[in-house]
Amino acid sequence: MTAAVFVDTNVLVYTRDASEPAKHARAVAWLDLLWQERSGRVSMQVLCEYYATLTRKREPRVAHAEAWDAVSALLAWRPQATDETVLQRGRAVEQRYRLNWWDCLIVAAAQLQGCALLLSEDLQDRAVYGGVTVRSPFTLSLDEPAASYVATPPAPGGHPRRGRPPRRHATSAVPPR
């Protein structure tokens, strides 16, 4: 697997959570492979969620310094910033696929980084969003050929809107949206 792979927060959390041994082992194996191939990708949103989950939402809680070390290591993956471009792409994803807002930002960040795969337990396995295929790291084999997942960059303007285009009135004083 040499294609760029976006890793969602839940996968990172499983690397620290041994309460589900099978998921823990698979998450660790995936991260080891992505580090080895230098193909792992995340976003700043994912890193923020990861830190918050480790230090506040999970029992036993991870010490802040230890959680920060885990997050800092992932900065080497050059996380996608949550900026205007991500927000605009996230809005296009929301309009096209009707996902919740936070998932739209995850998909948008994966698209903008040219990822072929998005490893997540939260989104539907095998769903494709603008060239990014969602796979559960707990069902996807680590040695599945990367050629079966090819990132297709979405159109520069994002996804086309659904439905009829709005009517434009020549006498209207309000500019069209």
* Tens-digit pLDDT profile for residues 98-136: 999 999 999 999 999 999 999 999 999 999 999 999 999
User: Which fold, 5-148?
Assistant: Rossmann fold (3.40.50)
What single-letter amino acid sits at 73?
Answer: A
pLDDT of residue 168 exceeding 80: no
Tokens found for residue 112: 């903008």
How many C-beta neighbours within 10 Å does residue 132 have? Answer: 27
- Output the pLDDT for position 170: 46
pLDDT tens-place string over residues 78-107? 999 999 999 999 999 999 999 999 999 999
DSSP state of 127: -
pLDDT tens-place string over residues 150-160? 666 555 555 44
DSSP state of 80: B
Domain ranges of the chain: 5-148
Closest CA to 118 of 151, 85, 72: 151
Report the mean per-residue pLDDT for the chain.
Answer: 87
Please tell me the distance from the alpha carbon of residue 48 to that of residue 2, in angstroms, as a whole number: 26
